[in-house]
Structure 1
Amino acid sequence: MNILQINSSARSSGSESTRLADQIVARLAAGTEATVVRRDLAAAPHPVLDEAALQALFTPADQRTPQQAERVALDDALIAQAQAADVIVIGAPMYNFGITVQLKSWFDAIARAGVTFKYGPTGPVGLLTGKKVFVAVTRGGLHKGGPSDTQLPHLRTFLSFVGLDDVQFVFSEGHGMGPDAVARARSEADEQIAALV
C-alpha cells in the first residue's frame, strides 16, 4: 500500500491537523509494509499558480523554455505522487473559513486536464480513481454542519472533480475556545480516527 500524506498547515510543527494526519497514517500503516510519502507544504511550499506558471502549462512541451519546463516539472512530481498513492491523507486546517493557501497550491498543481480529469459529454470526469482519502479537518470555532462551513464543500467538490470520491472526514473543532474545548476536540477526533481506520 502506498500512502501519500499532505500536511497543509502553515506551521511545520505544533499543527493539530498534522497531528491527526500522522495518527491516521500510523494506524493505516500499522502491521503492513506500507510505503509512506509525506509532503509538508509549509516546510517545502509549492509555488502558487501565477501567470508564468499558466504560460508554461499551456505551452506545448517541445516549445517550453528551460524555466517553463522546470516549473511544469514541479507540478508533474505532485501529480505522480497522487497517481501512485493508494491512500491519500490530508491535514486541512480552516483558515478564514476556507482551505490554506498551501493546500490550494497543491490542488492547483494536481488538477490537470487530460491527466487527473477530463471533460466528457456530460461534464468533467475525474481520473484519480480507486483511491481512499482521509481528511483531518481542524477549526478554531464550531462550523460543522453550519452556514459558516465553506471549507467542507470546497474540499468535497475538488476531490470529486479529480475522481477522489471515497473520502472520510475527521473533525476537530473549537481549538480557539479554551483548554477544555481543545481537550474535548482532540478526544473526539481520536475517537473518530479509531472508528474509521
Structure 2
Amino acid sequence: MNKLLSISLLLTLTMSSCDTRENESHENKILEKNDNAFKSEVQKLYLGLNLNQLPSKVVKESKLDFEFEKNIYGSESKGNLKTLVSFITLYENHPNINSDIKKGSILIEYYEPEKIKNVYGWDLRMLFKNELDMIIEYDKLINQFEKYSLKTKVYEKEKDELGIVFKTTVFHLSVDEKFPSISFHYNKLFDNSYPINITYNPKLD
C-alpha cells in the first residue's frame, strides 16, 4: 500500500513539474510575441528606424538625413573630459499622425564611448498648431501603446483654471521597470507651442 502511494505521489509530482514547465514556456512565448509587436510599433512610430541597436548603426542603416554633432565638455587638466555625440533629423509629416505638425524631429544624444550596456534615449518630438490637436494625438498614442505595458506610471500637474498643464505616461514592458520602456509627454505651457515628446529606451542585446 505504501509503495503504491509512493508511486502515485511521484507521478503526481512529475506531472506537476511538466505542467509548470509548459506554463512557463507558454508565458515566455506570450511575452516574446508582445515584445516583438511592441518593437514593430516603435519602429513605425520612429519612421522605420530599428532602434534596438547601437545609435551609430541605426543612423548608418537609416534612409533619413541625420545631422551629426560632437561637443567636448570638461577639462583635460582635471581629467573629466566628456564627448557628447548627437544625431538629429527633421520631418514635416508623420504617417501615424493625422493632425498638422509644425515641426518634428528625432534626436539621440550620448556620451562616448558607445557601448551596448549604455542607456540610450531616442527622442521623437512634434509641435502642433493648437492644444486640441496635441491632446487628440496624445490620447491616440496612449491607446496604441498601453496594451503592451506590464507596468504603467502617469505623472501630471494641474494649474488653477487651466486644468492639467502637462502630463507624462510611461509604459514599461517589465514589472521591474527594466528596459525597454517608452514615455509620452505633453506640455500646454511651452512657449505658445503644443509639443508631444516621446522617449524610447531600448534594451540592447
Greater strand proportion = 2
Greater helix proportion = 1
TM-score, with structure 1 as normaliser = 0.27
TM-score, with structure 2 as normaliser = 0.26
- By relative contact order (CA 8 Å, sep 6+), the higher-ranking structure is 1
Rg larger in structure:
2
